[in-house]
Chain A
Amino acid sequence: MTTVKTRNQPVWQIVARREIAVRATDKSTLIGTAVMLAVIVGVLGFTAWSESREKTYDLAYSATVSEAMVEGIAERASDIDEKVSIEPVEVADEDAARLALEEEQADAYLRATSDGWTLVSLEEADSDLRDVVDQAIQEIVLAGNAQAAGTSAAVLTEGSQVAFDQIEGDSELSAIRWIVGYALAIVFYFASIMFGMTLANSVVEEKQSRIVEMIAAAVPLRQLLAGKIIGNAVIAVGQMLIYVAVGLVGLSLTDFSFALPALSGAIGWFVVFFLIGFVVLSTLWAVAGALASRTEDLQSSSTPITMLLMVMFFGALYLDGIGEVIGSYVPPLSAVLMPMRLVEGTAAWWEPIIAVVLLLAFGVALVRLAERLYSRALLQTGGQLSLKAAWRLEE
C-alpha cells in the first residue's frame, strides 16, 4: 500500500481556497463586478461632468420692451450663475415664439404682461434658467424703479442682507456625510443579501448533490463551515475594497473631494464593521442553506434572515437621536448604524471600539449556535427542516 503524506494545512484553508477559486472564475461574479464598477464610475463621472458643464439657454423675445430686458438678463447671467449664459433670440411675434419653442430653437420665451413678466417654456423650465431670469429681472426692475423714485437699488436694499453662519461643521459637508452614510448602509444591505444568497446556495448545492456526506466522512463539518464562510468573506471584502477604492478615487475627482479627509477614518471603520457583521450574518446564511434540501427551498428557509436584514436596513434609515445612539451598540444593528454615526461625525472615538467588542461577542455566540444547526441539518436530505426540528436533531 502506498503511503500518503498528510500535509499540515488546515482543512478550512483547503475549503476556503476552493470557494475562492470557484467564485473568482465564475462568470456571473465577474460580470456582476464589472457592472457594479461601471455604475460607480458612471455615476461619479456624470456628477463631475454635469458640475463642470456650462449651460447656454436660448431666450426668445418679440416686443421691443422685451429686447432690452432679455439683453439685460444675458448681461447679468454670468454674475448670478457662472455656469449659465443666455443667448437672446429674436422672433416675430407670440406665434413665432411658440413655434420656436416647439422646434427647440429656443429654450424659453419672455413675454411682458401688465404687471410683470412671464417666462414661457414648452415643459417645466430648468431651475438654473428660472433662477437666473427671476433674479436678473428683479434686479433690473428694482434698479429702474429706484431710479424713477430718485434713489438707487443699493440704498433701497441696504441692511437687508442675511448671512448664514453655523457654529458646528459646514452645511455642505453635513449633506455629504448624510449621503455617504446612507450609501454605506445600502452597500452593506446589498452585499449581505448578494453574498449571503451565494453562500446559502453553495451550502445547499453540496447538500443537494449529496457530496456533503463524503466530505463529512473526511473532515469535521465545523471546518467545512469555517472554510466556506472565510472563502466567501475574502471574495466579498475583496470586491468591497475595489468598489470603495474606485468610489474614493472617483469622489476625489469631483467637487466633493474636500470631504474626503473628514470621511476617511469613518470609511476605515466601515470596512471593520462590514467584515465582522458580514461574517456573523454569513453563518446565518449557511444555516439557511443547511435547512433547505433543494435550491427551491432556499427562498423560504432564508426568510428569517432576510427579515433581519430588512430590520437592520430600515433601522439604519429611520432611527435617529437617542434611538440611533442605542441602535449603534445593539448587534447586529450596530454593524450598520455605528459606521453611519461615524460618517455623520456624531460618535466619539471610543464608541466604535465598544460596539465592535459587543458585535464580536454576539458573533461568537451566534457562530456556535449556527454551527450546531448547520452540522445537524446538513445530512438530513428529506425536505426542508424547521429551525426547531434542526435544533433537536442528534448528530
Chain B
Amino acid sequence: MLEVSGLTRRFGEMVAVDDVSFPVPSGGLTGFVGGNGAGKTTTMRMIMGVLAAHAGTVSWQGHEVTREDRRRFGYMPEERGLYPKQPILDQLVYLARLRGMSTAEARREISALLERFGLGGRMKDPLEKLSLGNQQRVQIIAALVPAPMALILDEPFSGLDPDAIDAMADLLREHARDGVPVVFSSHQLDLVDRLCDRLVVMARGRVVTQGTGEELRADSALRYRLVLDGDAGWVRDLPGLHVRDVSGPEAEIEVVSPGAEQKLLTEATSRGNVLDFHRVVPRLSEIYREVTA
C-alpha cells in the first residue's frame, strides 16, 4: 500500500497542497479528482519525489519511500513527452535501464508490450513519425516497464480516443487485479465513476472528501424520485423533506428527517396513482459536484 500523509507544499506565499493525506490501497483503483489548480499534479510530483515536500511523508509498505522504491513506480507526468527523433524501442529501453533494468530484459518486456499495443512493426520508427494516439501508447509503455510496484498516473486518459480509453482502462484494472496500487487523476468524472474503487477529491489544495463509492454515498442524504399521474407541486408543503426538483408530475426529494419519505408515499397514494417511486443512488460525479461546490 502507498500512503500519503500530511503532504504540504508552498510556492512563495501560496499554499498549493495543504496537509493532504490519503491511502492508495493495493488491488484497487484510486481516482484523484479536482478542478484545475486544486493541487493534484503537485501532490503526484511529491509522491514521485520530483518536487520536494515542505511537510508530510509518502510511505510504501509501511516505510518511508526511498529512491529505489520510486524507481519501480510507474509514473506518467501531466506534462509528458519522449525523445521525438529517437526510435521508440531504443528510448523505451533507455528509460527502463535508467530504472534499473538490464538491456536484454528491457528489450524483451518492451517488445512484448509494443506487440500488445499493435506497435510491433514500428519499433525502429522515431517517435515523431507515429500518430498522436500511438505516441500516447508509447508513453504508457514507458510507465509500465519495468513491471511497476505502483502506478502514479497524472491524467492518463487525456488525449486518448475512445478505443484507447478502453484499452487504458483494461490495463489499469489488470494491474490493480495483480495487486498493484494504482492512483490516477482525471477530469472525466464518468470515467472515474466507472473505474474507481476509491475517490479522493481535492479543492484549493485540500482533500475535501475521500472514500470508497459506498462510503461516499452513505454520507450523502437519501434521495427519492416520485412520478405521479397529476401535478406533484404539493410535495413542497410536506415537512421533513428537501425538494431538489419538481416539474409537472415528477419530483426529486431528499430526506431530512428519517421516515418522512414514507409519509410522502402515503400522501401520494391517497391523492392518486403513483407511477414510480424509487431510491436515487447518486453518481460519484454528483458527489464530486456537491463537495466542491
A interface residues, Cβ below 8 angstroms from B: 1-2, 4-7, 11, 14-15, 18, 22, 205-206, 208-211, 213-220, 379, 381, 394-395
Contacts and interface: CB of A to CB of B under 8 A. Distances in A.
A11 B101 CA distance: 11
A211 B80 CA distance: 6
A213 B79 contact: yes
A209 B81 contact: yes
B50 A379 contact: yes
Contacts of B149: 1
Given A4-B147, A217-B75, A211 B100 contact: no
Given A4-B146, A7-B102, A214 B83 contact: no
Contacts of B211: none
B67 A220 contact: yes
Contact of B99 (A210, A218, A379): A218
Contact of B80 (A7, A15, A214): A214
B95 A214 contact: yes
A218 B95 contact: yes
A11 B178 contact: no
B82 A4 contact: no
B77 A4 contact: no
A213 B79 CA distance: 8
B77 A218 contact: no
Given A7-B100, A209-B84, 17 more contacts: A1-B149, A1-B180, A2-B147, A4-B72, A5-B100, A6-B68, A6-B100, A209-B81, A209-B83, A210-B77, A210-B80, A211-B80, A211-B81, A211-B82, A217-B77, A395-B51, A395-B52
A214 B51 contact: no
B94 interface: yes
B79 A210 contact: yes
A20 to B, nearest CB: 12
Interface in B45-101: 45, 48-52, 67-68, 70-73, 75, 77, 79-84, 86, 94-95, 97-101
Contact of A14 (B51, B83, B98): B98
Nearest to B84: A209
A218 B142 CA distance: 12
B183 to A, nearest CB: 14
B98 A11 contact: yes
A215 B95 contact: yes
Interface residues of B, number: 37
Contacts of A205: 83
A188 to B, nearest CB: 29
Interface in B150-184: 178-180
B142 to A, nearest CB: 6
**Which of B67, B73, B79, B97 counts the most chain A CB atoms within 10 A?**
B97
Nearest to B178: A1
A215 B84 contact: no
A218 B105 contact: no
Contact of B142 (A214, A379, A381): A214
B81 A218 contact: no
B171 to A, nearest CB: 15
Q: For the complex of A and B, list the 5 residue pairs with the smallest distance between their C-beta atoms, beginning with the closest.
A: A209-B81, A210-B81, A6-B100, A213-B77, A4-B146
Contacts of B72: 4
Contacts of B146: 2, 4
A1 B147 contact: yes
A219 B84 contact: no
Contacts of A15: 98
Nearest to B86: A22
Nearest to B145: A4
B198 to A, nearest CB: 21
B80 A217 contact: no
Contacts of A211: 80-83
Contacts of A220: 67
A291 to B, nearest CB: 18
Nearest to B82: A211
Contacts of A208: 81
A213 B50 contact: yes
Contact of B94 (A1, A2, A14, A395): A14
Nearest to B98: A218
A7 B71 CA distance: 13
A14 B50 contact: no
Given A4-B105, A14-B98, A379 B51 contact: yes
A95 to B, nearest CB: 69
B70 A4 contact: no
A214 B52 contact: no
A251 B77 CA distance: 55
Contacts of A209: 81-84
B70 A217 contact: yes
Contacts of B179: 1
Nearest to B128: A209
5 contacts: A18-B94, A211-B81, A215-B95, A215-B98, A216-B50
Contacts of A4: 72, 100-101, 105, 146-147
Contacts of A217: 48-50, 70, 73, 75, 77
B77 A14 contact: no
Contacts of A379: 50-51
A130 to B, nearest CB: 58
Contacts of A7: 100-102
A318 B105 CA distance: 57
A213 B153 CA distance: 13
B81 A394 contact: no
A87 to B, nearest CB: 61
Nearest to B109: A2
